[in-house]
A and B are shown apart, each in its own frame.
Chain A
């Protein structure tokens, strides 16, 4: 069995690798949590890439029902076809729409199935999928068939902690919490996105970024993805490292605003706190 070791475009820490490999080897779902923008969603993509598997993504919304992942019966079309005298109407199978789990189960080679942001759905949603995820099969009442996984897919589930997940569901998963990357890991992440970036600029940017994240009371702490966007901006606008060392908040804010400080409240907070802080430091 191929092991997941990270990829050329994704930095995986040791603990993440262990969790992924355990989930792959024992064929249990892997639940991933972590601050927004810490790579939860791209992880599934990268695992698929590293293991040479297809990726099937199921993005969950507040209205998503577990059943939709299995299949849906399009009775309305059938009713319409019957009114119009369409011959298709005699085969109910014509009106069964496959869900993502169905697709994942039917695939010849076990794919990676991403169930993204499971916490968006109704609180019953995870429980409604327990049996299907356990047995990797389900029954289609309309056509009386059992759909069984040809090979068990690798299942990666992400959550942003909006809702608690039921214990019965949690017991069946491996769990990994993506810790916010430390400076060293962040450098490696930057390296895979922007190889060979000027080290002085990067160093100042990292310092400013981590200082900013530490501001007490920040509504929205900027995350990995925001840091990456910001770096791109700094390079594009040719902002030098000396600007980031700027001691006055008024001068420092413009290059931070937008990419790192996203709302007015946080900008105000920064104005109040950053100056005091930097003057001291």
Chain B
């Protein structure tokens, strides 16, 4: 039951598990999805999707899977479209409420397809007779087949009108679209990347004295000292992020910043600094480059010692003058070249990498990118899962 729907979800990348699928069955058996299509939709959603970014996908698969059986009728009365129940759902309910005898009876009638057909006809007929209001075919008790066993006229067809909803199906509203669209660029990548980033951050966590543990076991030990060690809660990784803001790559850079921020719990310290195109004597603690947020690069070099790891994120694309000429910087006069400043930073922080959101195949066509890459002795990595992996590996080992 619903297996087609379930498989379609998985194919679309909504990673519902068998366990969750069984929970949905259990919920249906407990009567939680009865008997209104919206309720069934909400129940399936609460059971099978565990991340709001996938709800939109879920909605689309839901619409697709129950298409045909859930199409609103073209003619609507009172603005409420008559809808039919998903066939698979009917089957499930039937499974639940019908005796074997009754099931055999349905089969004898020609099976579910035939049943649906009959219902459809019945609906057409009723439309003529009713004066428009409710679109139920007959009234059902707790079972869609009526209280007295198999009875196709007991099936409610169409949306419940009492709640006064519009004809648009909830899942067709796609109201979670924004949540998905916001992070569409590599949503799945982001998640994986984050997981890896965390793993890297945790790798090689040192041990520290577990004070409560030591006291506890010492007490248990009748006062004899019994030292306990635990892995350090947070890794000792201290990270300086230097981000290039103000170019065409801003979106990508914001994305990588988000990524690191999301993992910040795993780092002992995470410091963000910003520059435009190339770092010179001034860096900023805020991407709006206000004078109040300016810090001298020299101070940064003194403040953070070589145990800090340094990650540049930027496209490394600029006019060569910005890199090799005093005064070549685009925003203010720089007495020393960008290259000088970069070299100082690289020397001060031996564990440093450059992450470049521009696809790697273009790197060689930009002079400045080539220079920077050489300065980093090939420690320039793409903003891809692989690149991130390699960069982290380089930083941690």
Chain A residues engaging chain B, CB cutoff 8 angstroms: 14-15, 18-19, 21-22, 25-26, 28, 31, 33, 62, 73, 75-76, 78-79, 82, 122-123, 162-165, 167, 170-177, 179, 265
- Nearest chain B residue, comparing its CB with the CB of A83: B223
Report whether over half of chain B's contact residues are helix, strand or loop; otherwise say mixed: helix
A75 and B216 in contact, given A18-B43, A122-B233 (Cβ under 8 angstroms): yes
Contact B223 A79 (CB under 8 A): yes
Would you give the shortest CB distance from A175 to chain B, in whole angstroms? 5
Contact B55 A177 (CB under 8 A): yes
Q: Give Cα distance in the complex from A264 to B266, angstroms.
A: 30
Q: Give Cα distance in the complex from A216 to B19, angstroms.
A: 40
A-B pairs with beta carbons under 8 Å apart, 19 shown: A15-B46, A15-B170, A21-B32, A25-B32, A26-B23, A26-B32, A73-B216, A75-B216, A76-B219, A79-B215, A82-B223, A170-B50, A170-B51, A171-B19, A171-B20, A171-B50, A172-B19, A174-B47, A175-B51
A14 and B219 in contact, given A164-B194, A177-B52, A177-B176 (Cβ under 8 angstroms): no
A62 and B32 in contact, given A18-B43, A177-B52 (Cβ under 8 angstroms): no
User: How many Cβ-Cβ contacts under 8 Å join chain A to chain B?
Assistant: 87
Residues of B19-75 at the interface with A, using a CB-CB cut-off of 8 Å, are 19-20, 23, 26-27, 30, 32, 38-39, 42-43, 45-47, 49-52, 55
Would you give the shortest CB distance from A225 to chain B, in whole angstroms? 20
**Sample of 9 further A-B pairs with CB below 8 A, known A22-B32, A22-B43, A173-B50:** A14-B38, A14-B39, A14-B163, A18-B42, A73-B216, A123-B266, A170-B50, A172-B19, A179-B176
Contact A75 B219 (CB under 8 A): yes
Residues of B178-208 at the interface with A, using a CB-CB cut-off of 8 Å, are 179, 191, 194-195, 198
Contact A162 B265 (CB under 8 A): yes
B394 within 8 A of partner (CB): no
Contacts of A33 in B (CB 8 A): 52
Contacts of B215 in A (CB 8 A): 75-76, 79
B175 within 8 A of partner (CB): yes
Contacts of B32 in A (CB 8 A): 18, 21-22, 25-26
* 4 smallest beta-carbon distances between A and B, as pairs: A18-B42, A75-B219, A177-B52, A170-B50
Q: Give Cα distance in the complex from A177 to B233, angstroms.
A: 30
Contacts of A176 in B (CB 8 A): 46
Q: Give Cα distance in the complex from A62 to B234, angstroms.
A: 11
| Cβ-neighbour of B50 out of A26, A75, A162, A175 (below 8 A) | A175
Q: How many residues of B contact A (CB 8 A)?
A: 42
- Nearest chain B residue, comparing its CB with the CB of A163: B265
Contact A171 B55 (CB under 8 A): no
B17 within 8 A of partner (CB): yes
Would you give the shortest CB distance from B26 to chain A, in whole angstroms? 6
Contacts of A79 in B (CB 8 A): 215, 218-219, 223
Contact A179 B175 (CB under 8 A): yes
Q: Give Cα distance in the complex from A211 to B383, angstroms.
A: 35
Contact A62 B265 (CB under 8 A): yes
| Cβ-neighbour of B46 out of A18, A162, A171 (below 8 A) | A18
Contacts of B198 in A (CB 8 A): 123
Q: Give Cα distance in the complex from A136 to B220, angstroms.
A: 28
Contacts of B216 in A (CB 8 A): 73, 75
Contacts of B47 in A (CB 8 A): 22, 174
Q: Give Cα distance in the complex from A265 to B288, angstroms.
A: 10
Q: Give Cα distance in the complex from A122 to B235, angstroms.
A: 12
Contacts of B163 in A (CB 8 A): 14
Would you give the shortest CB distance from A11 to chain B, in whole angstroms? 15
Contact B219 A26 (CB under 8 A): no
| Cβ-neighbour of A26 out of B26, B38, B262 (below 8 A) | B26
Contacts of A15 in B (CB 8 A): 42, 45-46, 170
- Nearest chain A residue, comparing its CB with the CB of B217: A75
Contact A26 B42 (CB under 8 A): no
Residues of B222-278 at the interface with A, using a CB-CB cut-off of 8 Å, are 223, 233, 262, 265-266
Q: Give Cα distance in the complex from A79 to B266, angstroms.
A: 35
Contact B27 A22 (CB under 8 A): yes
- Nearest chain B residue, comparing its CB with the CB of A142: B220
Contacts of B17 in A (CB 8 A): 167, 171
Contact A19 B30 (CB under 8 A): no
Contacts of A174 in B (CB 8 A): 46-47
Contacts of A265 in B (CB 8 A): 288
Contact A18 B39 (CB under 8 A): yes
Q: Give Cα distance in the complex from A15 to B43, angstroms.
A: 8
Contacts of A28 in B (CB 8 A): 23
| Cβ-neighbour of A164 out of B38, B191, B219 (below 8 A) | B191
Would you give the shortest CB distance from B159 to chain A, in whole angstroms? 12
Would you give the shortest CB distance from B105 to chain A, in whole angstroms? 31
Among B30, B179, B262, B265, residue most surrounded by chain A Cβ atoms (within 10 Å) = B265
Contacts of A172 in B (CB 8 A): 19
Would you give the shortest CB distance from B177 to chain A, in whole angstroms? 11
Q: Give Cα distance in the complex from A62 to B195, angstroms.
A: 19
Contacts of B15 in A (CB 8 A): 167
Contact B23 A19 (CB under 8 A): no
Would you give the shortest CB distance from A166 to chain B, in whole angstroms? 10
Contacts of A62 in B (CB 8 A): 265
